[in-house]
Chains A and B, each alone.
Chain A
Amino acid sequence: MFHFEATLLAHLFFGLSLLVILPLLRRRDLVLHLLLLLSLGILFYASSLATLFIGWEMMGWSSYFILASSARVATLQRYILFNLGGAFALLGAIALLYGFMGSLEYRDIDASLLPPWAMNAIALLLFVAVFVKSGIIGLHDWVVDSYSEATPLFSAILSAILSKAGIYLFIVMFMVLLKEGATEPLLFEIMAWLGVITSIVATFKAISQDEMRRLLAYSSIAQIGYIITILALMQGFALEAALYHTLIHTLIKLLLFMNIASIIAITQKERFSELGGMIYHAPVLFLLLVIGIIALAGMPLLGGFNSKFLIYTALLEEKRALLLGAVMFSSASAFLYCYKLVYGIYLGQRPQEASLHVSPKSYYLPQLLSAALLVLLALLPSLPVGYLSVIGVELGFAPLDDSNLFILQSAFGSFHGGALMGAFGVAFVALLGLLQLAHSKAKKVKDPLDISYCGEVPRSETNLHFGYGMGYELHRISFIAPLLRHHSRVLWDRLSLIASDFSALLSSLYSLSAQHVTLLALLLFTLLLLGGQ
């Protein structure tokens, strides 16, 4: 039997969380952050389902208490209820498994003994747990608010690490423990589509956001959506693509959230409409953000392309053209919000009467680290492949080729990271040079409001830069507008309303007078006496 607790997968995930959490430790809430780290350790290195669940729940409540210092009560309620809902679904799956296995140790679990209905029920329960944590559409209601209301540093942890717990759970349960189980393939098919639909919807929602962290939160949901889609293929290539993307996404989101944390620290502003022109004030942050969004968009030149490449080829390999098309559509749309990030914050006009502070130096370290890693991965795209393919082998898949660190191999071909980066670099420099030559006569506009040739004279408070208001036009597109208008929150709010009505009804029973209480008891007695036996 395998000895899963020390697997490389756990190392990978725990390494990722160390990467994110350690630079962020603050004196305030240190205990809670340490508890969170401990819970992740327990989760990743568990050797029984009970321990796994302990880690899962500790992660939930320790993050809740960290979040509770800044978020609104309604957000907190949603956060804990969705997370506990997922956790209880997991607990249900564990209890069900115990009913058949009589043990909770990983090594005692043999999914081939499960009857199909039980396997499917367990799979559905686990899906709920995974989907809640990953913010799959319908179960994502808690994600965006909590990301945007957390302290800027904690949103980085939420997005970069805690959102990955669902992915880990999926891999551990479905690719290791329940591999032999007779899960209905249709379930995975549904999961793949849910993932991609989530990513499309979330991408458009991201574009239409005005708050920086809400945009990034939707972007996180979209990126995790790809990972869910690709994992649902249950294939070796797909697993490695998913793990690669997990790695890249962690780096990107760490970079971007820390970048925005710096911006928030400098300006005390959260919205694109209140920002702009920060490039003059913080050029280094601008460069770091550009690295982040190039990677986020999955364009060649930086690490983000590697995982996108693996995802696309894995989908091709499985001949899932429709899924591939959908992923590409969503991925291409992501350019828009990347653009909004860079333009809305750094370019354009600087708002008036903005008093600026200094960003803490410690915020730069995680950004520099992840930017460096993203560049390194662009040069040597096969660097993590060896590691990832060992994990794949451990889970029973064929290894990937990583003989040349510069070349990323996939089923449908390969590319040379150094050469690609060089070629794009040369092309970029050449293009920039040409532009510079062509527009050498362009004069620098002294006054940002000097656009009177447009026929209108803006007042000084009119915000003119391109990032401002971007995404509003989406509301006019017939097939996107409904996505933006409708929100699953309506459903959950109605559910909570029903619960509180029911609650009011029942609690009125508990305010009855003593006589009515005895009367009810006597009625119960009589009813049972007459109808009982």
Chain B
Amino acid sequence: MFDAFGSSALLHQAITLLCFIIFGVALFGVLVKKNLFNIFLAFSIAEAALFLFFIGNHYAAQLQAPILFEGLSRFDPAVMVDPLPQAMILTTIVIGIAVLALALTFVIRYYKLTGHMRIDEMDELGEDR
């Protein structure tokens, strides 16, 4: 399935496998855990698994990090790894942190109002409420 990703195929497959195991564990947490804090933690883990998967699959042992310094003045795919995924992941991490912070704020506020943070006890919405 993923053999179209170029060289370092074995490494990439290993990373992919590992990441999807982590992703699966995280999804399990999302679906099974009852504590709201744990659920959002599981989402963070799932996100991290995706980040690892993406970055890992762009890692190539013989290439340099895409940082411009002396001797390296322009982006050259023959010399350095693709810089775009790293930029993407950095942005996504920032977004992820923002969402997590917001979620935890809501959980804290919710806890202050109701005294619990269990998802199976959330019953404030629905018909005739």
Name the contact of A514 in the complex, choosing from B119, B126, B127 (C-beta under 8 A).
Answer: B119
Asked whether B119 lies within 8 Å of A511 as measured between CB atoms, the reply is: no
- What is the CA–CA distance of A515 and B43 in the complex, to the nearest angstrom? 12
Contact B31 A511, beta carbon cutoff 8 Å: no
Query: B117 near A: Cβ within 8 Å?
Result: no
Interface size on A, residues (CB 8 A): 8
Closest Cβ of chain A to B78, distance in Å, is 37
A519 to B30, CA, bound (A): 9
* A515 B30 Cβ-Cβ under 8 A: yes
**Chain A proximity mask over B4-31: 1 for CB below 8 Å, otherwise 0:** 0000000000000000000000010011
Q: How far does the Cβ of A203 sit from chain B's closest Cβ, in whole Å?
A: 46
Report which residue of A511, A513, A515 has the largest number of chain B beta carbons within 10 angstroms of its beta carbon: A515
Interface residues of B in 70-125 (CB under 8 A from A): 119-120, 122, 125
A511 touches B30 (CB 8 A): no
Assembled-state Cα–Cα distance A519/B39 (Å): 13
> In the complex the two chains form, is B127's CB within 8 Å of A507's CB?
yes
Q: Which residues of B contact A514 (CB under 8 A)?
A: 119
- The answer on a CB contact under 8 Å between A515 and B119 is yes
Count of A-B contacts judged by CB separation below 8 Å: 18
**A519 in contact with B31 (CB, 8 Å):** yes
Min distance, Cβ A339 to any Cβ of chain B, angstroms: 53
CB distance from B118 to the nearest CB of A (A): 11
- CB-based contact B31/A522 at 8 Å: yes
- A518→B119 CA distance, assembly (Å): 13
B89 smallest CB distance to A (angstroms): 23
Whether A518 lies near B127 (C-beta < 8 A) is: no
CB contacts (< 8 Å) of A522 on chain B: these are 27, 31
Residues of A within 8 A of B125 (CB): 511
Which residues of the partner chain A approach B31 to less than 8 Å between Cβ atoms? Answer: 515, 518-519, 522
Q: Which residues of A contact B120 (CB under 8 A)?
A: 513, 515
A503-533 residues with Cβ-Cβ distance < 8 A to B are 507, 511, 513-515, 518-519, 522
Give the shortest distance, in Å, between B96 (CB) and chain A (any CB): 17
**Chain A residues whose CB sits within 8 angstroms of the CB of B27 once the complex forms:** 522
Asked if A518 contacts B126 (CB within 8 A), the reply is: no
Which single residue of chain A is at the shortest CB-CB distance from B125? A511
A511 touches B127 (CB 8 A): yes
Query: Do B127 and A513 touch across chains, with their CB atoms under 8 A apart?
Result: no
Give chain A residues whose Cβ lies under 8 Å from the Cβ of B39: 515
Decide if B126 touches A513 in the complex (CB within 8 Å): no
In the complex, the answer to whether A513 meets B30 with C-beta atoms within 8 Å is no
B122→A511 contact, CB < 8 A: no
Interface residues of A in 109-139 (CB under 8 A from B): none
Cα A489 to Cα B125 in complex, Å, equals 36
**In the complex, A511 Cα to B126 Cα: how many Å?**
6
Inter-chain CA distance A513–B39, complex, in Å, is 13
B17 to chain A, nearest CB (A): 17
The residue on B at minimum CB distance from A516 is: B31
For the complex, give the distance between the alpha carbons of A100 and B125 in Å. Answer: 49
In whole angstroms, how far apart are the Cα atoms of A511 and B127 in the complex? 8
Interface string of B44-68 (1 = CB under 8 A from A): 0000000000000000000000000
Complexed CA–CA distance, A107 and B108 (Å): 69
A519: nearest chain-B partner, CB-CB: B31
Nearest Cβ on chain B to A509's Cβ, whole angstroms = 12
Question: Chain A residues near B30 (CB, 8 Å)?
Answer: 515, 518
Name the distance in Å between A133's Cβ and chain B's nearest Cβ: 36
CA A518 to CA B32, docked complex, whole Å: 11
Residue of B nearest to A513 (CB): B119
CB A533 to nearest CB in B, in angstroms, measures: 14
Complex Cα gap A511–B39 (Å): 19
> Which single residue of chain A is at the shortest CB-CB distance from B120?
A513
B102 to chain A, nearest CB (A): 15
Q: Please report the C-alpha to C-alpha distance between residue A518 and residue B33 in the assembled complex, in whole angstroms.
A: 13
| Residues in chain B near residue A518, CB distance under 8 A | 30-31
Which residues on A sit within 8 Å (CB–CB) of B119? 513-515
Name the distance in Å between A353's Cβ and chain B's nearest Cβ.
47
Can you give 17 A-B contacts (C-beta < 8 A)?
A507-B127, A511-B125, A511-B126, A511-B127, A513-B119, A513-B122, A514-B119, A515-B30, A515-B31, A515-B39, A515-B119, A515-B120, A518-B30, A518-B31, A519-B31, A522-B27, A522-B31
* 12 new A-B contacts at CB < 8 Å, known A511-B125, A514-B119, A518-B30: A507-B127, A511-B126, A511-B127, A513-B119, A513-B120, A513-B122, A515-B30, A515-B31, A515-B39, A519-B31, A522-B27, A522-B31
A residues apposed to B, CB below 8 Å: 507, 511, 513-515, 518-519, 522
- The 6 A-B residue pairs with the shortest CB-CB distance, nearest first, are A511-B126, A519-B31, A515-B119, A515-B31, A513-B119, A518-B30
